[in-house]
Structure 1
Amino acid sequence: MKGLIWFRNDLRLGDNPALVTLTRRCEKAIMLFVIDPEWFRPTHFQSKHMGRFREEFLYQSLRSLECELKKRKQRLVVKVGNPLEIIPDICRRHGIDLVTVTDHPGVNEQQHVAYLKRVLPSEVRVCESFTLYLRNQINFTKDSFPKTFTQFRRHVDHQNLLPCIPISAPESLPSVLDERRDFWGGQEFVYDLTPYHGGEDSGSLQLNQFFWKTQGLKHYKDTRNDLDGWRFSSRLSAWLANGSLSARMVAAELDNYEYRHGRGESTRTIFAELLWRDYYQWMMHVQGARMFAFDGLKQKRPLTRFHSEKFKAWEQGTTEFPIVNACMRQLNQTGWMSHRGRHIAASCLVNELGIDWRFGAAYFEQQLIDFDVSSNYGNWQAVAGVDADPEEHPQFDVNVLASEYDPEGVFVDKWAESSSSESLLKY
């Protein structure tokens, strides 16, 4: 039996049911990743789907995946083009019997799989591993989906739902089906991502560093609202976003940590953040394109519009708000911004500058090394007040936030002195 696995946001061998399914059923297989040129073209929100930081992190992750496949006598086939043209062509030429792919809540990702199911004569098997829980555990409809995270968490607690246990990587893989690879990732990147490095091994190393070696988890409850630095946060979001790590792997490691050290405020906080991530994934699964609508899930149009000069000032970090400028310069020069910084910058764009939230969400999509479509658009809807929550969200004063989270002005001073050409990711 001949198979093909289409890697997307599951760039790992461990906890990859799509890979295990392929291995159990096929003697020969193609391991495929498709780079879609549409990712790098500007949208009507004046941003690209993928900027240079995430692009380089992706290529690092693909190189790591290729190395791991080689150890099992397989190879990664990278193609450049439209996957809905490339995959049917490969299946036709090789007589593919089985295509496996990991489920993903993104609207385009769902549509792509639905199209392949319609047009391919081969079986298309969709496997779940991007979320903590399975679809049959989170069986909400559009009408019944929780309007707040608190309601979602109560459902999880009431049903006594436990995260799925991650599965091991297969010891061996089907033999190679020979397929030409396209040239990819050959350009020179001017940005240094250190200490970020894409790939399953690097993600596992960071997980070990934060949980065990540096004891960052032990103090997380006290450090989680910091704006700068590396160790105050787990920094796992980039590996989770492209699937070099799964949320189930992190949850299992957290369970191991709590078994050894006991449950505390910091471990509960980390699990709550994994649960927040799942909440937004399932929200997009259920709500679909509504997550991108100007009037949001609430279907209430906010009193904002697009002002090109104000947006450009926000984008470049030249507004009248020093804390926002520091956050945006940090983002532009490192591809990363703290959770608290994202909230401050987003609140400023919507509430202080009165700009359509979708432009900010699209800019974050382009710039963030850890962009996740569900979390990004879910959080932006919340800031814009167009999410499903029936309660009105309080409008925060940016200057008050600055005094609370950067009382000595250290963060503002650091990024005020940085130029747009230098990278300060190494700290």
Structure 2
Amino acid sequence: MYRHTLLWFTNNLRLDDNPVFNKARNSEQLTCLFIQHPRDKRTNRFGFKGIGKHRQQFLNQALSSLHSKLSLLNQALEVIESDYVEALSQVILRDQVEHLVTSRHTGSYEQSALKEIASRFPHLVITVLETHTLYGERQLPFALAELPDSFTPFRKKIESIEVDARIAEPDSLPPLGDKQGSTFNIDCSSENAFNGSEQSALDHLEHYFSSDLPATYKETRNGLDEWACSTKFSPWLALGVLSPKRIIERLNRYEEDVVANDSTYWIFFELLWRDYFQWYAHKWGNKIYHQTGPFNRKPLTSFYPERMKSWIEGTTPYPIVNAAMRQLKATGYQSNRARQLVASCLVHELGIDWRYGAAYFEEALIDFDLASNWGNWQYLGGVGADPRGHRQFNLAKQTQTYDPEGLFIKRWGGEEMMLPIDRVDYHDWPIEMK
């Protein structure tokens, strides 16, 4: 029994299927904490912020939901905007914390913060649990260092392994500490199509699997704009508001009660892709940010501010790319097919370093997940897990296949302002990127 435990929430903003609560129960008092690093709102070396307005609103809703659910268990969520190490140190000292529990994270800042805290507080017991993946590391049929360099060998080795059962919500928690922090107060107003609350995630999950959509997912998943084309689980998965195990549990029930076919398998297939990128990020660490990737493949790209600005604003010579980028800016969302097309355009047609695209997506996407985002961009940039190397899409052919009547392009104004790739000379430089 610990006198005081600190739960540091990161990518596990839910009560359902969250093993951190089992570890927190063995304590007399409990502090629940979320830290938003000021770095998220500062401009990084690529010229973008770590979090944009759409994801910030979604995050605020998720935090508010978590606080409300904790309050039903006579608990509360303390939210601090600060450096991770400083915030954790402040709470550990204030509450005389003996035990720190958190979720395993692919982020290097989160990992380095835990190492520094362990160094500062050698008495502290630190427990790190896996909450973000279908499979735990102990279930992998290979050592993490031997993770296959591409997805297909990974899938073949792991897809027959049974996913562990989901953990039920806690029905009780230790009481608040005597020195609990400030009252929870976050603006949760939003115009997003997604709501970040855990209940919204569970309602959407049930609505999706109560329909015929899972039975046709493989045929519709490449749709560019229609809400029903894909599962739309990704925003809640990214913040850990929705557990991937909960999705599998509901998918299995759908297959038992309704139908099991190629489309329902493909939902599982996509979750395996997500798991692969999580373990890919754990294996390679900071190499997922390197221009040459983990395999030292030098891409033939550079950086052109004018082209980057045109790509972001949707004014390139490619209408389908323009439409997708305008959709992203307006909504924070883009379909999987659209992401592949705009990434291919940035790397191949515009010749820009893939890392700038990954950094912009980190700011713009409502469903940004570190491992999936940077892993997918390395894949499309030809430096990652794609065994074929550079994967270039024929944009005209893709337009004919996925938007033959031009409805997506028309809706998002893809042809409203099509400008040449290069239209200024050196007298007009520098160009503001955003």
Whichever residue aligns with residue 5 of structure 1, its letter is L
Question: For the residues of structure 2 that align with 1:16 and 1:85, how far apart are their CA atoms?
Answer: 25
Q: Secondary structure at the match of 1:27?
A: strand
> Paired residue for 2:429?
none
Tell me if the contact between 1:225 and 1:340 (Cα under 8 Å) persists in the aligned partners: yes
Question: For the residues of structure 2 that align with 1:176 and 1:145, how far apart are their CA atoms?
Answer: 41
> Paired residue for 2:282?
285
The unaligned stretches of length 5 or more in structure 2 are: 418-434
Q: Secondary structure at the match of 2:32?
A: strand
User: Alignment partner for residue 365 of structure 1, among 334, 343, 362?
Assistant: 362
The 5 A counterparts of 1:4-403 are 4-23=6-25, 25-120=26-121, 121-138=123-140, 140=142, 144-157=146-159, 160-177=160-177, 178-181=179-182, 185-186=186-187, 192-194=191-193, 196-212=194-210, 214-403=211-400
Question: For the residues of structure 1 that align with 2:43 and 2:265, how far apart are their CA atoms?
Answer: 40
Q: Which 4+ stretches in 1 moved above 6 angstroms?
A: 417-420
Q: Secondary structure at the match of 1:207?
A: helix
* CA deviations over 1:164-200 (Å, ceiling 9, x no partner): 21100110111111322277534x86x5113x10121
Tell me if the contact between 2:375 and 2:385 (Cα under 8 Å) persists in the aligned partners: no
> Paired residue for 1:423?
none
> Paired residue for 2:428?
none
Whichever residue aligns with residue 151 of structure 1, its letter is P
Tell me if the contact between 1:20 and 1:169 (Cα under 8 Å) persists in the aligned partners: no
Whichever residue aligns with residue 199 of structure 1, its letter is S
Structure 1 residues 41 and 302: CA distance shift in structure 2, 3 A:
same
Whichever residue aligns with residue 165 of structure 1, its letter is A
Question: For the residues of structure 1 that align with 2:321 and 2:414, how far apart are their CA atoms?
Answer: 14
Tell which deviates more after alignment, 231-240 or 160-169: 160-169
Deviation for aligned residue 1:372? 0.5
Deviation for aligned residue 1:393? 3.8
* CA deviations over 1:288-331 (Å, ceiling 9, x no partner): 11111000122011110000000000010000000000000000
Question: For the residues of structure 2 that align with 1:390 and 1:341, how far apart are their CA atoms?
Answer: 21
Question: For the residues of structure 1 that align with 2:289 and 2:11, how far apart are their CA atoms?
Answer: 20
Structure 1 residues 225 and 151: CA distance shift in structure 2, 3 A:
same
Deviation for aligned residue 1:229? 2.1
Tell me if the contact between 1:140 and 1:286 (Cα under 8 Å) persists in the aligned partners: no
Structure 1 residues 119 and 419: CA distance shift in structure 2, 3 A:
farther
Structure 1 residues 361 and 182: CA distance shift in structure 2, 3 A:
farther
Question: For the residues of structure 1 that align with 2:142 and 2:107, how far apart are their CA atoms?
Answer: 17
Q: Secondary structure at the match of 1:176?
A: coil
Deviation for aligned residue 1:108? 2.1
RMSD between aligned residues: 1.8
Whichever residue aligns with residue 149 of structure 1, its letter is F
Deviation for aligned residue 1:116? 2.2
Tell which deviates more after alignment, 262-271 or 344-353: 262-271
Question: For the residues of structure 2 that align with 1:398 and 1:364, how far apart are their CA atoms?
Answer: 20
Tell me if the contact between 1:5 and 1:99 (Cα under 8 Å) persists in the aligned partners: yes
Question: How many equivalent residue pairs?
Answer: 413
Structure 1 residues 326 and 172: CA distance shift in structure 2, 3 A:
same
Whichever residue aligns with residue 171 of structure 1, its letter is D
Tell me if the contact between 1:8 and 1:102 (Cα under 8 Å) persists in the aligned partners: yes
**TM-score, normalised relative to structure 1:** 0.93
Give the fraction of aligned pairs with identical amino acids, expressed as a percent. Answer: 39
Structure 1 residues 70 and 303: CA distance shift in structure 2, 3 A:
same
Question: For the residues of structure 1 that align with 2:256 and 2:268, how far apart are their CA atoms?
Answer: 14
Question: For the residues of structure 1 that align with 2:310 and 2:239, how far apart are their CA atoms?
Answer: 30
Structure 1 residues 171 and 329: CA distance shift in structure 2, 3 A:
same
Tell me if the contact between 1:203 and 1:244 (Cα under 8 Å) persists in the aligned partners: yes
Tell me if the contact between 1:226 and 1:232 (Cα under 8 Å) persists in the aligned partners: yes
> Paired residue for 2:425?
none
Tell me if the contact between 1:107 and 1:288 (Cα under 8 Å) persists in the aligned partners: yes
Question: For the residues of structure 2 that align with 1:140 and 1:358, how far apart are their CA atoms?
Answer: 30
Deviation for aligned residue 1:61? 0.5
Whichever residue aligns with residue 112 of structure 1, its letter is A
The unaligned stretches of length 5 or more in structure 1 are: 421-427
Question: For the residues of structure 1 that align with 2:172 and 2:113, how far apart are their CA atoms?
Answer: 29
> Paired residue for 2:402?
405
Tell me if the contact between 2:41 and 2:49 (Cα under 8 Å) persists in the aligned partners: yes
Whichever residue aligns with residue 84 of structure 2, its letter is P
Question: For the residues of structure 1 that align with 2:376 and 2:71, how far apart are their CA atoms?
Answer: 39
Tell me if the contact between 2:380 and 2:391 (Cα under 8 Å) persists in the aligned partners: no
Whichever residue aligns with residue 139 of structure 2, its letter is Q
Question: For the residues of structure 2 that align with 1:288 and 1:100, how far apart are their CA atoms?
Answer: 22
Whichever residue aligns with residue 193 of structure 1, its letter is N
Question: For the residues of structure 2 that align with 1:329 and 1:39, how far apart are their CA atoms?
Answer: 23
Question: For the residues of structure 2 that align with 1:414 and 1:97, how far apart are their CA atoms?
Answer: 56
Whichever residue aligns with residue 14 of structure 2, its letter is R
Q: Secondary structure at the match of 1:54?
A: helix
Q: Secondary structure at the match of 2:292?
A: coil
Whichever residue aligns with residue 18 of structure 1, its letter is V
